[in-house]
Amino acid sequence: MEKLYEGKAKILYKTEDSEILLTQFKDDATAFNAQKRGTIKGKGQINCTISSALFQWLESRGISTHFIDCPEPTQMRVRAVTIIPLEVVVRNIAAGSLCRQTGLTEGTLLPFPLVEFYLKNDELGDPLLTSDRLKILELATPEQIEQLQSLALKINQYLSEFFTSCQITLVDFKLEFGLDSQGQLLLADEISPDTCRLWDQQKNDPQQRVLDKDRFRRDLGEVESAYEQVQQRVLAKLGLTEN
Ligand SMILES: Nc1ncnc2c1ncn2[C@@H]1O[C@H](COP(=O)(O)OP(=O)(O)OP(=O)(O)O)[C@@H](O)[C@H]1O
Ligand SMILES: [Mg+2]
């Protein structure tokens, strides 16, 4: 199959149908804008499985996503979209760059979910945009920006509730959206421990509770087992495993 694009975590292939792409999830991991590189064994399969499960669950709640099906455990067929070059981040608890840039202490519960738009541009280091910069860049219409904001908040509500039922706190996450050939706005890319901060509610220790890519970023060890833990709880909650 013709390779359309190889990113840091996934490879996109064309299919016979121009409206459908095949995404191959890789074990490769990068952090700090690819300055740190490594592999997380089994990550491709785990992220594909978790993403698929969450996309289907969100679909059942009325959120339109690019998900079609999984022909293989590391492969997802998706609707081809033109990605809006924005990373839509929702934060419930202060962590990561929010702490570095504002001085907020990691773990501070935010008074309301914070929706942020970052420019999806590796050369520029994915900078945080202001609302006026967003308007000037014209990467989406003002109506689409409104739509992205409200979709992001709705998805946050659903996912927060879902992860809580798995005894996991959804600290923050990054979403990507795109427009299909009919101009329909779809949730795209992936939702996984690579793109979410997830804290185990069964652990109090601030290092032990981390179940996401921060284990890799901060060399906390037991990266694979953290990803497996998330997969196991998500699938169990959805009734997709015996346990
Ligand atoms: N349904 C889709 N149609 C078209 N492109 C998509 C779709 N879903 C995701 N993508 C894009 O495919 C690429 C996925 O690869 P990956 O996540 O590895 O990228 P990345 O290394 O994070 O790089 P990038 O900075 O381009 O996101 C991303 O550029 C993402 O925006
Ligand atoms: Mg990516």
Dump pLDDT digits (tens) for 149-178. 999 999 999 999 999 999 999 999 999 999
Determine the atom of ligand 1 nearest the C-alpha atom of 10: 18
Quick one: 89 and 185 in the same domain? yes
Check whether 243 has a pLDDT greater than 80.
no
Q: Does residue 91 sit within a domain?
A: yes
**Whole-structure pTM value:** 0.97
Q: Does residue 36 sit within a domain?
A: yes
Ligand nearest to the CA of 21: 1
Average pLDDT estimate for 194-218: 98
Q: Binning pLDDT at 50, 70 and 90, where does residue 7 land?
A: very high
Spacing, Cα 6 to ligand 1 middle (Å): 8
Q: Which of 52-66, 159-173, 228-242 has the lowest mean pLDDT?
A: 228-242
User: Is residue 19 lining ligand 1, measured as CB closer than 6 Å?
Assistant: no
User: Is residue 115 lining ligand 1, measured as CB closer than 6 Å?
Assistant: no
pLDDT for res 1: 85
Determine the atom of ligand 1 nearest the C-alpha atom of 78: 1
User: Is residue 211 lining ligand 1, measured as CB closer than 6 Å?
Assistant: no
The residue from 61, 79, 97 where one domain ends is: 79
Average pLDDT estimate for 123-140: 96
Check whether 242 has a pLDDT greater than 80.
no
Show the domain range for 70.
Answer: 3-79
Quick one: 75 and 88 in the same domain? no
Q: Could you report the per-residue pLDDT of 48-58, keeping only the tens digit for each?
A: 999 999 999 99
Q: What is the 3-state secondary structure (H, E, C) of the chain?
A: CCEEEECCCEEEEECCCCCEEEEEECCEEEECCCCEEEECCCHHHHHHHHHHHHHHHHHHCCCCECEEEEEECCEEEEECCEECCEEEEEEEECCCHHHHHHCCCCCCEEEEEEEEEEECCHHHCCCECCHHHHHHHCCCCHHHHHHHHHHHHHHHHHHHHHHHHCCEEEEEEEEEEEECCCCCEEEECCCCCCCEEEEECCCCCCCCCECCCHHHHCCCCCHHHHHHHHHHHHHHHCCCCCC
Q: Does residue 55 sit within a domain?
A: yes
- Residue 68 CB contacts under 8 Å (≥ 6 apart), including other chains: 20, 76, 77, 78, 79
Quick one: 162 and 92 in the same domain? yes
Question: How crowded is residue 92: how many other Cβ atoms within 10 Å of its Cβ?
Answer: 19
Q: Does residue 117 sit within a domain?
A: yes
Task: Compute the distance between CA of residue 211 and CA of residue 228 in angstroms, rounded to an integer.
Answer: 9
Spacing, Cα 36 to ligand 2 middle (Å): 15
- % of the chain with per-residue pLDDT over 70: 99
Q: Does residue 100 sit within a domain?
A: yes
Quick one: 151 and 126 in the same domain? yes
The count of structural domains within the chain is 2
Spacing, Cα 11 to ligand 2 middle (Å): 10
